[in-house]
Structure 1
């Protein structure tokens, strides 16, 4: 009975963690609008193709693709994925932006300062994945009792 209870608790915890991980991963867009100052053009690129110091355009309603620095005058950002608070944060020129947060204001430009595995969102996802790979204490106890 204890083993079955441990298995059930483990399955529920695993499902919740997987759901949370999927939610985190959905915060990162697949593509982003890149601005080229030399040609004055905007081009959609895959998120994997973003390079450090690229200028990115974040439109209203879009999630920020990568960590960066605001180069427009201001931006209105929902950081609830980090803070849990739905309060909109006003960012000013040169302030840091965190990938995965949401632009609730007008379009703005930003410079990519961290990409790929170096972003805050990637660090959070890795921490969740690491936590998922470890058995809960109750599961370890059930395994010890049963075997």
Structure 2
């Protein structure tokens, strides 16, 4: 599953990006497997918006995030791994942004695989998590 587009990095010097603790996101002893807390999205849904997908809150049409898939088939919007949190111009925590890997459980239940990347307001990701391997 290779991504064939350009990769953009955060270039705003005012942006403060925090990353999870190593116990929440790190490598297994083999150095090849990523161990992470796998969370679920809550109270939101997504719809295609050009080349990306927009994430909406509840029944409203308020955009609360965006998603870019690596795959074109078997699209799912259920589980994610948080890889960073940005504080958008001093907003309160529920309005901060999570940067995530979108994942799905592999066939047979042996870990998770990446489906894409995205960002969403913190309040739309559950605090509860399960241990997972990518």
Q: TM-score range by the shorter chain?
A: under 0.3
Question: Which protein shows a greater Rg?
Answer: 1
Q: TM-score, normalised by structure 1?
A: 0.24
Higher strand share: 2
Higher helix share: 1
Q: TM-score, normalised by structure 2?
A: 0.25
